Amino acid sequence: MNAEPPTVAPPTKPGLLGWLGVPIRLLIGGVFLWAAWAKIGPSHGPMVFSKAIEAYKLNLPDPLVTLATFGVPWTEALAGIMLILGLWTRAAASVIAAMLLLFIGLGIAAILRGLEIKCGCFGDRTLLCQGGLGWCHIGENSLMTALTLLVVACRKPALALDSITGCRSCKK
Amino acid sequence: MGCCAWKSVFVQAIVICAIGIGAGLLDSTRRPLRHGGRELPPEVPGTNAGTDAKPPSEPAPKIDLHPGDPGWKPTAQADMPKGQITLEQAKKFFDEGSPFVDARRKEDYEAGHIKGAFRINMKSFENGDPPLLAMIARDANVVVYCSGGHCDESEHVAEFMSDSGYKKVYVIHDGYPGWDAMGYPTEKGEGIQ
């Protein structure tokens, strides 16, 4: 029997994209944590966010508005923490990218329908864009989407818990 | 990258969403939302409020001209949502001695507010009814305002006050800038907060 023992590929080091992803993860994860806190942290946060959702005039039934009011910020918070820690990094980044794409779609639809409303992205606060919902918010979200997709594309994130726990989604 | 890695990413993403939505559902049972907006006050006597006014779900029209700009005119009742009042109606309440509530930030309030207005904003309700509410009768015509235009803090405060038992809460559509531009009584300083 000359069968050789199965070889285990040595772990490869993070590349340039892996290291570039670190500040991006901290930035996007931090923004999403902050956004979540603005929506559900203060006692008036959920009410303000639910009004912001209703202002988009999606004709959602009340239970769905409630689900979005609480489900979106908690998902943002969880994905934001995981992105910062580098745990299930690509999945967390995918969730955030999907949410951002949804926000972009809803924002464009609202602008094209002529709705003069607040973004609601950060509760009653704002990030870069001031005033009512406009193309600035679409640009802001598009920039964050592009950055987040870089993290999704990176198979070997640096300074990530994934490298300790053994990330299945990082393998080829 | 193989399909297994993408499959793994997808499954993990579903798990993240499921946990997030689950946590959100738990949170929603702890602090239930009230849908449909605040209870609207009765019409202001002698006005067309509630007849040809826009429904409350409709957003306020954009104010292109700011109060004080040349050509600016106070918004007419027909152009504002129900529950909101004109500057003229607000002045009438002011002359009758009705309590006014400023829903803006502390620095904005101290830079100038409607004479005698209380400063009560959304944060004031974080630990239940703010103590200042003890100075405002539940059956009074209460007038709330913020900065007009896109500002909606006054609507939120009006909703909180409605929940606290105030049934006649009105919001000044043009807000403090409009009031100031009309030359109505204002004052600066700490006021009542």
pLDDT in tens, A30-62: 999 999 999 998 877 888 888 889 889 898 998
Which residue of B lies nearest to A130 if distances are taken between CA atoms? B150
Mutate which: A78, A126, A136, vs B, most B CBs within 10 A: A78
CA distance A67 to A76: 14
Q: What are the backbone dihedrals phi and psi of residue A90, each rounded to the nearest 5 degrees, phi first?
A: -70, -35
Give the pLDDT score at A104: 97
Cα–Cα distance list, B68 to A130, A141, B89, B119, B183 (Å):
22, 35, 19, 24, 10
H or E stretch at B114: strand B113-114
Range of lowest pLDDT (A24-28, A144-148, B160-164): B160-164
| b/e A85-107 (16+ beta carbons within 10 angstroms → b) | bbbbbbbbbbbbbbbbeebbebb
- Sign of the alpha-carbon dihedral angle for B89, B90, B94, B98: positive
Q: Identify which has the larger pLDDT, B13 or B121.
A: B13
CA distance B61 to A154: 46
Q: Identify which has the larger pLDDT, B149 or A26.
A: A26
C-alpha closest to that of A70 among B114, B45, B26: B26
Range of lowest pLDDT (A46-60, B26-40, B109-123, B134-148): B26-40
Which residue of A lies nearest to B9 if distances are taken between CA atoms? A91
Range of lowest pLDDT (A90-94, B22-26, B51-55, B130-134): B51-55
Say whether pLDDT at A166 is over 50: yes
pLDDT tens profile B4-45:
688 899 999 999 999 999 999 999 998 877 776 677 788 776
Integer distance in angstroms from the first to the last C-alpha of chain B?
61
H or E stretch at A102: helix A89-112
Length of chain B: 193
CA distance B67 to B72: 6
Q: How confident is the model at residue A150 (pLDDT cuts 50, 70, 90)?
A: very high
Give the pLDDT score at B52: 46
CA distance A161 to A86: 5
Averaged pLDDT, A65-92: 96
pTM: 0.73
Closest Cβ opposite residue A74 in set B6, B23, B35: B23
If you write DSSP's letter for every residue of A127-143 in order, what string do you get? Answer: SS--SSS-HHHHHHHHH
Say whether pLDDT at A128 is over 50: yes
Say whether pLDDT at B174 is over 70: yes
- For the CA atoms of B93, B98, B99, B104, what is the dihedral angle to 10 degrees? 0
- Using the Cβ of A43 and the Cβ atoms of chain B, whether some distance falls under 8 Å is answered with yes
Averaged pLDDT, B73-97: 87
Give yes or no for a contact between B92 and B179, defined as CB atoms under 8 angstroms apart. no
Cβ pair A74:B20 closer than 8 A: yes
Q: How confident is the model at residue B72 (pLDDT cuts 50, 70, 90)?
A: confident
- The Cβ-side half-sphere exposure at B149, using a 13 Å CA radius, reads 13
Cβ pair A95:B1 closer than 8 A: no
- Using the Cβ of A23 and the Cβ atoms of chain B, whether some distance falls under 8 Å is answered with no
Cβ pair B25:A132 closer than 8 A: no
Range of lowest pLDDT (A16-25, B74-83, B116-125): B74-83
Q: Identify which has the larger pLDDT, B174 or B35.
A: B174
Closest approach of A90 to chain B, Cα-based (Å): 6
Give yes or no for a contact between B99 and B56, defined as CB atoms under 8 angstroms apart. no
Give the pLDDT score at A42: 81
- Using the Cβ of A55 and the Cβ atoms of chain B, whether some distance falls under 8 Å is answered with yes
| b/e B20-38 (16+ beta carbons within 10 angstroms → b) | bbebbeebbeeeeeeeebb
- Using the Cβ of B3 and the Cβ atoms of chain A, whether some distance falls under 8 Å is answered with no
Which residue of A lies nearest to B60 if distances are taken between CA atoms? A116
A 96-155 near B (Cβ less than 8 A): 98, 115-118, 124, 131-132, 152, 155
Question: What ipTM did this prediction achieve?
Answer: 0.88
Mutate which: B3, B35, B125, vs A, most A CBs within 10 A: B35
Hey, which of A9-13, A97-101, B188-192 has the most confident mean pLDDT?
Answer: A97-101
B 11-70 near A (Cβ less than 8 A): 11-13, 15-17, 19-21, 23-25, 27-28, 31-35, 57, 59-62
Give the pLDDT score at B61: 47
B 87-116 near A (Cβ less than 8 A): none
Averaged pLDDT, B152-164: 87
Give the pLDDT score at B45: 60
Give the pLDDT score at B59: 46
